[in-house]
Amino acid sequence: MNSKRPVNLDLSTIKFPLPALTSITHRITGVILFIGLIFGFWALDASLSSPEGFEAVRHALDENILAKLIAWGLLSALAFHFVAGIKHLLMDGGIGLELESANRKAQITVVASAVLVVLAGVWVW
């Protein structure tokens, strides 16, 4: 490679194509979901430990605005990670690898997960 070629590694000046943005969001939501496992396992543990624990989880999800926000946030991250993961599996199957369809699939990923994020919000509230 010609080492005299100009190099720009300043990410803030680069315009990312949509598939790049969905790719990094897939990674970010994955990290968020990992941290969110604390809440998921807590809720599962408490809800199965006793009737009081079950009511505590139910009460938190019914009344506590912070718990609702966390639940919605994690469900949203899960929705995006899920949809983007399906996209990955399709691409592994050789479906839609051309530039045109790659953009289209990234758009579908964004729209589909946006719909799921709204539905998750409706569910939580």
Partner 1 sequence: MVTNITNFGRSGLSDWLIQRVSAIILALYTIFMVGYLLFHPALDYPTWNGLFAQTWMRIFSLLAFLSLAAHAWIGLWTVITDYIKPTGIRFAVQIVVMLAIFVFLVWGVQVLWGA
Helix (H, G, I), strand (E, B) or coil at 123: helix
CB of 82 or CB of 103, closer to partner 1: 82
Is 81 annotated to bind ligand? yes
**Interface contacts to partner 1, rule CB under 8 A:** 27, 30-31, 34, 37, 41, 44-45, 47-48, 50-51, 54-55, 78, 82, 85-86, 88-89, 92, 123
CB of 37 or CB of 111, closer to partner 1: 37
Kindly state the smallest distance separating residue 14's Cβ from partner 1, in Å: 16
Kindly state the smallest distance separating residue 55's Cβ from partner 1, in Å: 8
Alpha-carbon distance of 73 to 124, in angstroms, equals 10
Which residues are CB-contacts of 37 (< 8 A; sequence separation ≥ 6)? none
Single-letter amino acid, residue 81: H
Which of the 8 DSSP states describes residue 94? Answer: T
